[in-house]
Amino acid sequence: MRIAVYAGSFDPPTNGHLWMIKRGLEMFDRLIVAIGSNPLKSYSYTVEERLEMLRASVPKSDRLEVAHFDNSYLVEYAKIHDAAYVLRGIRSPNDYEYERVMRHINSDMAPEITTVFLMPPRDIAELSSSMIKSLTGPEGWEETVKRYVPPEVFKVLKQGPEI
């Protein structure tokens, strides 16, 4: 069984994340979408809110799990779940450089885990959670943002984060 972990902050989930999840389900027998905690990031939504947004947005499948991990390296989390693959997206040269370094570090820690990179299509290639948050707020933001996030996430964005 080919098991992969696709990890990120998902703060908030975007259509780019959903594209990655859809492709991951096409490629692997089981996909674990895991919200990781990065101590260098500050979040607009709690882990519970992000889990709810993801679960409401992803397709229902017994091959898909949405989870959270904390205080663990991604490859260690993958090993615990018998995942032989880590799924990562590359949107830009900056992503490539970061992901290239992380792939080598992950391989040093767990050479048995293969990192698989996907490049999203042009229409969502620039999407990121940070970009969505930066677009939210000014007058008329709703028309701009709603095309980039799942409807369930858009509802939450309209309510604003509970910080």
Sign of CA dihedral 87, 90, 96, 99: negative
Q: pLDDT by residue (tens digit) across 69-120?
A: 998 999 999 999 999 999 999 999 999 999 999 999 999 999 999 999 999 9
Number of domains in the chain: 1
CA atoms within 13 A on the CB side of 19: 20
Find how far residue 41's CA is from the centre of its chain: 14
How far is 133 from 12, CA to CA, in rounded Å? Answer: 8
Q: What is the 3-state secondary structure (H, E, C) of 51-86?
A: HHHHHHHCCCCCCEEEEEECCCCHHHHHHHCCCCEE
Please give the residue range of the domain that contains residue 75.
3-159
Residue 151: which CATH number?
3.40.50.620
pTM flag (> 0.75): yes
